[in-house]
Amino acid sequence: MSLFEGRGLVCVRGERVVFDGVDFALGDGDALLLVGPNGSGKSTLLRLMAGLLRPVAGAVLWDGDAILEDRRSHGGRRHRGREPRRREGGAARRRDAAAMAASPASSRVMGKIPV
């Protein structure tokens, strides 16, 4: 089972501390729900998780390896085993979204991090 986790993440934008000490751990099929008001760091945390930003402190890990050590491998892990995205009309995308929402894996929220 793969483990995707963040440990002690700290993010500063400009001179503002956006969040400090954020931890999460997700296994295969798990989901993470980010909640908070505008400007609380939800999108910034997603950027850290994708390896697009570096945290001031802490680390984002995949199976214990820091994702920023090898960005190419991290990109491959994010897309492993997935079909290429289809370029169909809106109705097909809505069907896919409805099917995903109905699947058992998508209904399991493993962590809720207020940021």
What pLDDT score does 83 carry? 53
Q: Distance between CA atoms of 75 and 52, rounded to whole angstroms?
A: 11
What pLDDT score does 12 carry? 92
* Total domains in the fold of the chain: 1
Residue range of the domain that includes 50: 3-114
pLDDT in tens, 28-73: 989 999 999 998 899 999 999 988 999 999 999 998 989 888 766 6
Q: What is the CATH number of the domain that holds 82?
A: 3.40.50.300
What pLDDT score does 74 carry? 58
For 55, counting Cβ atoms within 10 Å of its Cβ (0-12 exposed, 13-18 middle, 19+ buried), the class is buried
Tell me 53's DSSP state.
Answer: S
What pLDDT score does 39 carry? 87
Q: Distance between CA atoms of 78 and 19, rounded to whole angstroms?
A: 24
Q: Distance between CA atoms of 28 and 57, rounded to whole angstroms?
A: 26
pLDDT higher for 114 or 84? 114
* Average of per-residue pLDDT values in the chain: 76
